[in-house]
Amino acid sequence: MSNHPSTTSRQSLPSLTGGAGGGSCERVLLFPGSFNPFTRGHANLVERALQLFDEVVIAVGINEEKADSHSVEARVASIQNIYKDNVRVRVESYTGLTADFACSIGAQAILRGVRTMKDFEYEMQMADVNRQLTGIDTVCLFAEPTLAAISSSLVRELAHFGKDVSEFLPIRDNKLFRDNK
C-alpha cells in the first residue's frame, strides 16, 4: 500500500459517462469533513474514489461548534500540498449544509468513509436527509482494515501529548501535525 497520492492526470482517465455526440460529462464527488488532521485513512478514500469519479473535491467544513486545533486555511493548505500534483483533486473550504455545497459545485455524490457500524448508522441517516433535500446520493467506502483504527481525534490526542503521529499522516504532509509536539 502506498501513502503517496496518485498523480494521474485527467487526460489519462477515460470519462465515466458519455454525453450526446461523443462528449463527456465530468463526474464530481464531494468529500466533506473537518480533516483536523487529514489522515492516511482519508487519503486512502480519495485514492479509491478517484477510481470511480473524474474529480474529487475535498471540502474542509467550517464548524462553529467544534474547537479546531488548526485554522481552516492551514488545513486547506496542508491538503492542497498533498495533492498539488493531482489535477483531479481540488481542495476548498465551505460553510453551511454539506448538501447545499455539493449542489453549488455540481457534485453528483458525497463521499463518506465508514469504519464501524456506528459510523454506518450515522452516515445512513445523513445520506437519507441529503438525498431528500437535494437528490444527491452518498457513496460510502469502507475503511481499509489496516487504517480503520485511525481517526483525526486519535491523531490530535497523540499529538497533544507529544507523540510522533507521522505514521498516521500522508507522506506529503506539510508538517501541520508532524511538528505539533
Catalytic positions are 42, 66, 115, 152
State how far the alpha carbon of 80 is from the alpha carbons of 5, 25, 74, 86, in Å.
11, 25, 10, 9
Sign of the CA dihedral 77, 71, 66, 181? positive
Distance CA 109, CA 91 (A): 16
Q: 139: which strand partners?
A: 111
In the block, which residue shows the cell 467544534? 66
